[in-house]
Amino acid sequence: MKIDLNADLGENMSGERELLELVSSASIACGFHAGDASSMSASILAAREAGVAVGAHPSFNDRENFGRSEVAVTAEELFALVAYQVGAFDGVARSLGVQPNHVKPHGALYNMAARDRALADAVAHAILAVDPALIVFAPGGSALAQAANAIGLRTAREVFADRNYLANGALVPRTRPDALLHDAGEASARVLRMLRDGFVRTVDGGDFAIAADTICVHGDTPEALAFAQKLRAELSAGGIVVAAP
């Protein structure tokens, strides 16, 4: 079995270089929720040195709320917003001799595109316009995955090591106290069950069928490094190869 381990980076958090020694993909902030041109360049260069694939991590233009608050936006506005960020990231990466591998929307943009097909279509077409070879990281079966597949973009089904799930398979909102997992052992056991059995235990005690091509560890959580270390060790022990899609 092969799986990608990704982290959201370029968000001015500590421990980035340590995470790059453990992950196979890095989704790098494009300046709207965090970072800027300099931080993009620094993260891309660090990932290149570590042999880690890179992708754009576009967001709503909402630095005040770290891109995690939903924003009223039209499909046309969202197309421009995503194309602008993915295009900028693509230009910076290629200027440094690095070819971007994927796009993963950030925060509220990710969640809204996962459930709203019109917004998902705007995101997918913006990615296609920049580079049709880019892989879209999205929840399996989501509106975003469907929109990407409909226009010929490849997708990687993403699951989260550090987030709890609702009964319908959506992530528990960050406004709730049970949104995040804090124990690396528990998170690793949950991920291994997703990979081997195809199910995740939800907060109501039930099981939700799930499939994974890439596992996310959020780089801005205090436990990020511990989670990545434990996950990498458990995946290796289970004979699961960690590699970018």
Give Cα 195 to chain centroid, integer Å: 17
Confidence (pTM):
0.96
Q: Per residue in 129-172, pLDDT tens?
A: 999 999 999 999 999 999 999 999 999 999 999 999 999 999 99
Q: Per residue in 2-59, pLDDT tens?
A: 999 999 999 988 789 999 999 999 999 999 999 999 999 999 999 999 999 999 999 9
In the predicted model, what is the mean pLDDT of the chain?
A: 96
| Class of the CATH-defined domain 2-242 | alpha beta
Exposure of 144 in the CB half-sphere (CA atoms within 13 A)? 24
Percent of the chain with pLDDT over 70: 100
CA separation, residue 191 to residues 5, 90, 117, 136 (Å)? 11, 31, 28, 21
Compute φ and ψ for 91, nearest 5 degrees.
Answer: -65, -45
Tokens for 83, please give them.
């194309």
Residue 149's CB is within 10 A of a number of other CB atoms, namely 14
Spatial CB neighbours of 206, under 8 Å, sequence gap ≥ 6: 167
* CA-closest candidate to residue 5, choices 195, 199, 228, 234: 228
The reported pLDDT for the residue numbered 7 is 95
* CA-closest candidate to residue 69, choices 126, 103, 28, 111: 111
Residue pair 230/19 in contact (Cβ under 8 Å)? The answer is no
**Domain layout of the chain by residue ranges:** 2-242
Pair type for strands 207-209 and 199-201:
antiparallel
The reported pLDDT for the residue numbered 223 is 85
